[in-house]
Amino acid sequence: MFKRLKNKEKILILGLGGVGYYLAKRLQHEEYAVTAIEPDPERYRYGDETLDVRLIRGEAMDIDCWREADAASMACVICVTDNDAVNMMSAQIADKFGIPYKIVRVHSLQFGLPGSLLGGDDLKIDLLIHPEEMVAQEITRVIKLRHGNEVIESADQKIQLLAARITHDSQFADQKLKDISLKYSTFAFRVVAVARGITTIIPDGEFEILPHDQIVVMTDSEHLPEMMKIAGVPQGLRQRVLIVGGGRIGCRVAELLKKSVEITLIERDGERARELAGLLTHVQVLHGDGSKADVLNLAGVQDIDTFITTTGSNETNIMSSLLAKNMMSGGNNNGNGNGTEKTIAVVSKEDYQVLAATIGLDIALNKKVMAAGEIMKHIRRSELISAAHLHGFDAEVVELVAAPGSPITKKPLAKLDPSYQGKLLIGGVYRDGVWQVAVGSTHIAAHERVIGVCLSMQLKEMRKLFSV
């Protein structure tokens, strides 16, 4: 069983690419002792300038680098180089050094999945991460939801977090949260996060919701349909999907959806398009540039329910999605259309993820953040019951238990230290056999299960609030 590592325990990271750098930044913030091995001079220099971790310039396959890192003293190794074979072999090396926990990132789906010839146990790996598969599975999950919006189930599926964009005619627009709560008081709900521009905000009652904000609302499962109606989230099955980009993610999404929806896929590379046409017999594959309006027109974008961009370019994915959103809505600049069109973009920069969600896109996914989040969840798993990243927000939703004598048990929520304001928020508590939405007068008792939302870099503060 993968137990939670203690603060100050040593973690070795192999590779400071997207996932490795993001993990190093998060782990140093949570006060782990991090050592990283990186061969690339530019990545090494950037890490040296921006991270407070021990850096070693060298190759993951160089045993001398492992010895320099004092590998035998490490509690965990995270193998996230750009090479699958190197990552898997590194787990074998880590095992020889006696490192208890091995976490490995691979792109290939031939390893570590049900039915694979070699699983995690065979490879001496405790956690095997497939970033592209994680993104593809999440896209598929969202498409199969009746509303096509981001929904995270928590608290044994009793509490739901719904993401929604605020339009000018929304009932939430230009309203303070305290006034919204008074106006809709027939059931309990709470706005727990707001994305505005490239900033994520944990709001209080005085916060005013504006048009173009992307919000996350917490409510119970029973009242989710009513909450969707108030928030202006249309309901309806996704039936027609257009995918731009036939790489690992785009191809895998098409495979996972199979014949459940009508799928058109646009691929820029002619040879790859012909290959995909042979592999995906249930998909209409077109050769063309999905960032051009005439190509989207030929693909029938006006009749599409969900538009997905999975190319390797942030700019292409964002701009193509905005173009498609306008065309899907009949050319209305306000993007309202009939209200059922959805766009999903894959982006690789954290700032772009929040920005994309606030300039008109419905969901922005980041495989680096998703992979790192899964790894962090396993590192902390004995302390947090569950944890999930809110797509399009620089925020986490966590479920944890209040330790006896912890700060959270000493005062009602409204009287907590003001320093927590804007950093974290308690959204729900399990009490008297049911989940309740928490409000300012709620006083958390020892051993109670709680759902909270916090800025990604404030998870350490959330954990301190619930521990002694």
Q: What three-state secondary structure class fits 424?
A: strand
Q: What is the pLDDT of residue 383?
A: 58
The distance of Cα 432 from the centroid of its chain, to the nearest Å, equals: 32
Q: What three-state secondary structure class fits 295?
A: helix
| SS (HEC) of 175-240 | EEHHHHHHHCCCCCEEEEEEEECCEEECCCCCCEECCCCEEEEEEEHHHHHHHHHHHCCCCCCCCE
Location of structure tokens 């994520």: 200
Q: What three-state secondary structure class fits 43?
A: helix
Q: What is the pLDDT of residue 241?
A: 93
144, exposed or middle or buried, with CB in 10 Å at 0-12, 13-18, 19+? middle
Q: Structure tokens of 334?
A: 């306000």
Q: What three-state secondary structure class fits 408?
A: helix
Q: What is the pLDDT of residue 333?
A: 44
CB-based contacts of 287: which residues, under 8 Å, 6+ apart? Answer: 266, 267, 268, 270, 273, 274
345, exposed or middle or buried, with CB in 10 Å at 0-12, 13-18, 19+? buried
The distance of Cα 339 from the centroid of its chain, to the nearest Å, equals: 24
Q: What is the pLDDT of residue 152?
A: 67
Q: What is the pLDDT of residue 62?
A: 97
Q: Decide if 455 contacts 200 (C-beta within 8 A).
A: yes
E strands present in 106-158: 127-129, 151-154
DSSP string, 295-307: HHHHTTGGG-SEE
* DSSP summary character for residue 3: P
> Using CA of residue 449, residue 454, residue 456, residue 457, what is the dihedral sign?
negative
CA-to-CA separations, 192 to 189, 200, 336, in angstroms, rounded: 9, 11, 25
Facing residues of 264 across strands? Answer: 242, 284
Q: Decide if 161 contacts 192 (C-beta within 8 A).
A: yes
Q: Decide if 306 contacts 143 (C-beta within 8 A).
A: yes
| Domains along the chain with CATH numbers | 10-129 (3.40.50.720), 237-339 (3.40.50.720), 378-465 (3.30.70.1450)
Q: Structure tokens of 379?
A: 């590192």
pLDDT by residue, tens only, the chain of 468 residues: 345 555 568 999 999 999 999 999 989 988 899 999 999 999 999 999 999 999 999 999 999 999 999 999 999 999 999 999 999 999 999 999 999 999 999 998 888 777 777 777 888 899 999 999 999 998 988 887 654 455 666 656 678 888 888 888 888 999 999 999 888 888 888 899 998 887 889 998 899 999 888 898 988 878 888 888 887 776 665 578 999 999 999 999 999 988 778 999 999 999 999 999 999 999 999 999 999 999 999 999 998 889 999 998 988 999 999 999 889 866 554 444 455 678 899 998 877 777 776 677 788 888 888 888 888 878 876 555 566 777 778 888 888 889 999 999 999 998 888 888 888 999 888 888 888 888 888 999 999 999 899 988 888 888 889 887
